[in-house]
Amino acid sequence: MYAPFWFEGPVLLAVHLLRYQNMWALAPTLAGFIASHIRLASMPMEAIVLASLHRSWIRHRDYNQAELLVYVLGQDMGMSVISGWLERDLPGYSQARATSREERWHNAT
């Protein structure tokens, strides 16, 4: 797992607008920040692997904002996005309700 910035301030606002207000136009900007950070860090990558939501969450939401970001990131970096390799066995709970980084990490793994 990799996170190029802290989930606070303008990043938090942008993610919440993307997720809860369907402001899809923010996806290229967020993906661009991630791509720039990956390039600056000279991180060797051959592809981007999408970790799918549990099927109960997919039914609960209108769309998967992480999937949207991953596909835009793949386009930005000229990389393939691989889906279907990783799948959640358990639904977990909303990351928005997590109160600490440790809780988010535990829920995401």
| Class of residue 79 by CB neighbours under 10 A (exposed 0-12, middle 13-18, buried 19+) | middle
pTM of the full predicted structure? 0.68
- pLDDT single digits (tens) 83-108: 877 666 666 655 566 677 777 666 65
- pLDDT single digits (tens) 2-33: 677 788 899 889 988 988 888 889 999 999 98
CA separation for the pair 79, 51 (Å, rounded) = 16
